[in-house]
């Protein structure tokens, strides 16, 4: 038992000494580091850059295309000509070469408003890329906040159990003194040691949980040294008590990122419908080019032949019949618009339900916090009275243990309710699009 207690004391002493040189983080510090390093956010930003790069006039089809083409070839032939009057003419080693170079320019002048609609669609896809990054950041910040305040809770639990160990150690001291004075039995001393060992074991397990939460926070911030020690500025969990449902609902319907993405998807489906309709319109293409060519023939009287010149043309066309495929695509696109509208309504309904559920939990936890604070105050006073009675021998060890346990349970219950209320608060900020207010 002594070896175990010495080990635990050394562990706590080392942790306390190391804490003096640790980095101190505020919630803003953690978010700043995470936004710069977190892998999911970096991937989302890269995807956003891709959608932004796609939003160009050229990708939409506004700009012409210019190609340069060149070729070179040759042949070496033997020719035999059989004459009608008899005999033949044989020519061996006839060599011919040809080289061509040219530039061609093509430009779609009109394609049933396809180009303009495509450009607008690319812009909406760019905006969705931005919103997807925003959604990733919001989810990340919410996760980081939950772990951040979870770590704060773990710190308070460690302090709570340290206090329990202190109480158990004081009780053991009292029992040992009373035993030496003959006022108590050895059984009482042994029982006090059992309680001290039990509390010390719980403290050791809680220190381990605290360390695991610290590593998890390092992971979220993408810190290279996962085992890096740090201290948080927030030592308690403060819950905002002034959140109102009606205001949150209005902000959610305007600023919820998932809802905005659903609205963008609905707009894109409308553009897809217009793109399908554009197939029924006539199209007009312009083309022009310049070509330069040179050819040689060893049997010719000319040394070589050079041709060059400008070509141009215009193509006007319209699809008359394509097996009713355009009609089918138009019908499917119209159905897709309805699906996107239904999807938006479904997401909106789900978000409203989540908001109401979370707000109900938030309100209930605020009420419970007040009750738990009263319980803690009462339990603290009960322990003070119980200790005095125990010192005078007017209270049994079992009764003292129950009073002590009631205090520890009250503190743990308060910490649990505070943390649950904080999680509800974070969720309310996230669903209403205000999660970055913590930053």
DSSP, collapsed to helix, strand or coil, labels residue 22 as coil
Alpha-carbon distance of 104 to 70, in angstroms, equals 11
Sign of the four-CA dihedral 246, 247, 253, 259 = negative
Regarding predicted confidence, which is higher, 250 or 304? 250
Q: How confident is the model at residue 203 (pLDDT cuts 50, 70, 90)?
A: very high
Q: Of 226, 197, 199, 198, whose CA–CA distance to 213 is shortest? A: 226
Residue 334: burial class (beta carbons within 10 Å; 0-12, 13-18, 19+): middle
Residue 422: burial class (beta carbons within 10 Å; 0-12, 13-18, 19+): buried
Q: Which residues pair with 72 in a beta bridge?
A: 99
Identify the pLDDT of residue 19: 47
Q: Please, what is the average pLDDT of the chain?
A: 89
pLDDT-wise least confident of 53-62, 130-139, 289-298: 289-298
Task: Name, in order, each residue with C-beta under 8 angstroms of 157's C-beta and a sequence gap of 6 or more.
Answer: 206, 209, 210, 412, 415
Helix/strand/coil percent split, the chain, to 5: 65, 15, 15
Instruction: Evaluate whether 231 touches 24 at the Cβ level (below 8 Å).
Output: yes
- Return the DSSP state at 278: G
Q: How confident is the model at residue 186 (pLDDT cuts 50, 70, 90)?
A: confident
DSSP, collapsed to helix, strand or coil, labels residue 196 as helix
Alpha-carbon distance of 31 to 38, in angstroms, equals 10
Sign of the four-CA dihedral 233, 6, 203, 396 = negative
pLDDT in tens, 327-344: 999 999 999 999 999 999
* HEC profile of 159-190: HHHHHHHHHHHHHHHHHHHHHHCCCCCHHHHH
Does 240 score more than 60 pLDDT?
yes
Q: pTM for the whole thing?
A: 0.85
List domains and CATH numbers for the chain: 2-68+88-438 (1.20.1600.10)
Does 250 score more than 60 pLDDT?
yes
Alpha-carbon distance of 38 to 134, in angstroms, equals 14
Does 95 score more than 80 pLDDT?
yes
pLDDT in tens, 265-319: 999 999 999 999 998 899 999 999 999 988 887 776 777 788 898 999 999 999 8
Alpha-carbon dihedral 333, 337, 342, 348, rounded to 10 degrees: 140
Kindly report the number of other CB atoms within 10 A of residue 31's CB atom. 23
**What average pLDDT does the segment 16-37 reach?**
80
């Amino acid at each position: 038992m002594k070896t175990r207690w010495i080990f635990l004391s050394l562990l706590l002493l080392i942790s306390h000494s190391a804490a003096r040189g640790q980095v101190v983080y505020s919630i803003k510090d953690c978010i700043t580091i995470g936004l710069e390093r977190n892998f999911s956010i970096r991937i989302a930003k890269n995807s956003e850059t891709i959608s932004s790069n796609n939003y160009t006039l050229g990708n939409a089809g506004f700009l012409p295309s210019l190609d340069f083409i060149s070729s070179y070839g040759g042949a070496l032939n033997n020719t035999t000509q059989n004459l009608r009057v008899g005999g033949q003419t044989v020519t061996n080693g006839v060599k011919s070469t040809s080289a061509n170079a040219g530039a061609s320019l093509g430009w779609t002048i009109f394609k049933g408003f396809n180009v303009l609609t495509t450009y607008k669609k690319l812009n909406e896809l760019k905006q969705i890329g931005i919103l997807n990054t925003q959604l990733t950041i919001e989810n990340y910040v919410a996760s980081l906040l939950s772990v951040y305040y979870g770590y704060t809770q773990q710190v308070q639990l460690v302090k709570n159990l340290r206090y329990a160990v202190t109480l158990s150690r004081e009780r053991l001291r009292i029992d040992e003194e009373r035993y030496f004075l003959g006022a108590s039995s050895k059984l009482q001393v042994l029982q006090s040691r059992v309680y001290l060992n039990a509390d010390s074991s719980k403290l050791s397990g809680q220190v381990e949980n605290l360390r695991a939460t610290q590593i998890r926070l390092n992971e979220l911030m993408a810190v290279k040294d996962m085992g890096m020690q740090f201290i948080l500025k927030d030592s308690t969990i403060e819950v905002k008590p002034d959140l109102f449902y009606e205001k949150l609902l209005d902000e959610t319907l305007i600023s919820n990122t998932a809802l905005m993405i659903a609205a963008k998807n609905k707009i894109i489906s409308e553009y897809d419908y217009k793109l399908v309709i554009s197939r029924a319109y006539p199209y007009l293409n312009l083309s022009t080019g310049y070509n330069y060519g040179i050819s040689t023939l060893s049997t010719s009287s000319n040394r070589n032949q050079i041709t060059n010149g400008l070509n141009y043309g215009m193509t006007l066309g319209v699809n008359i019949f394509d097996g009713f495929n355009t009609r089918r695509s138009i019908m499917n696109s119209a159905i897709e618009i309805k699906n996107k509208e239904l999807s938006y309504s479904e997401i909106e309904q789900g978000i409203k339900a989540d908001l109401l559920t979370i707000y109900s939990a938030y309100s209930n936890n605020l009420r419970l916090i007040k009750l738990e604070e009263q319980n803690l105050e009462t339990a603290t006073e009960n322990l003070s009275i119980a200790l005095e009675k125990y010192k005078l021998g007017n209270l049994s060890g079992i009764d003292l243990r129950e009073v002590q346990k009631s205090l520890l349970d009250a503190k743990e219950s308060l910490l649990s309710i505070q943390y649950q209320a904080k999680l509800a608060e974070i969720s309310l900020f996230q669903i209403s699009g205000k999660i970055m207010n913590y930053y």
